[in-house]
Structure 1
Amino acid sequence: MTNIESTTIINLPIEKVYTFLDDLNNHQQLMPENIYNWSSTKDEAQFTIQNMAKLTIKITERIENQKLIATPTEKPPFDVSLQWAVADLGNGTTKATLTISADLNMMMKMLASGPLQKLTDYQTQRLKEVLG
């Protein structure tokens, strides 16, 4: 498994950060421009990645004020999961980490690692901007 990770610090209590991330309707605000045709509920989101694929993800695991895991509802070209983990740093600040875990062969790893890292960095930066 290839793990691609990005972390940010947000000046809000962990409960507020977790509550925002717990609702996939909010995740549209974290997506870059190449994500479109977004539709979502609290537990599921469907979207298209420009020049790539249509994807539907569903939250498959929740541990309140700790982590959320979302996985595709249909079999993607490779196994992938998205995990948001939050940690209370005290003084009303929270560390939020997005990890994309993907089962990539060497060729796919060379092609996808850069774009996936950009995506995780973009999403953590947007989370800080939206909640900041």
Structure 2
Amino acid sequence: MTVIESTAEINLPVAKVYAFLADLNNHKQLMPENIYNWSSTEDEASFTIQNMAKLAIRISSRIENQELTALPTEKPPFDVELKWTVADNGAGGTIAKHILSADLNMMMKMLAAGPLQKLADYQTNRLAEVLNNTQG
């Protein structure tokens, strides 16, 4: 398993960050420009990654104010799990971590690990931007 992680600190309480992440409709705001054909509900999302694949995901588990996990609903090019965890940073804010676990063979790992890391980093940075700008 290839595990890709990215972390962001958000100046909002855990419950607010979790509530935002728990609704997949909000995740469109976290996607880079190479994601299109976005369609979502609270529990499911489907989209196309330019020059790569179409992906449909569904929230498979929720642990309120701690973590949420999404899995593909259609057979993806490789097995992948998308997880967000949220934890109190000790100062009233939240540490949000995005964890992508992908079952990549060596060839796929060489091709996909970089873009997946970039995607995870982009999403955590956008999460911080979007949520830190909505407070107050």
Deviations 1:16-43 (A, max 9, x none): 0000000000000000000001010000
Who is 1:22 aligned against?
22
Match of 1:34 in 2: 34
The answer to whether the 8 A contact 2:53-2:77 is kept is no
In structure 1, what is the Cα distance between the partners aligned to 2:47 and 2:75?
15
SS of aligned partner of 2:76? coil
1:61 maps to 61
Could you say what secondary structure the match of 1:115 adopts?
Answer: helix
- Give the gaps of 5 or more residues in structure 1: none
Number of equivalent positions: 132
SS of 2:120's partner is: helix
Q: Which residue of 2 aligns with 1:117?
A: 117
What secondary structure does 2:82 align onto?
A: strand
How far apart in 1 are the matches of 2:90 and 2:23?
24
Sequence identity percentage: 75
Deviation by residue 1:65-113 (Cα, 9 ceiling, x = unmatched): 0000001001112110100000011222100000000000000000000
Partner residue in 2 for 1:126: 126
* Runs of 4+ displaced beyond 2 Å: none
TM-score (norm 2): 0.96
Task: Give the AA of the match of 1:14.
Answer: V
Correspondence 1:42-57 to 2 at 5 A: 42-57=42-57
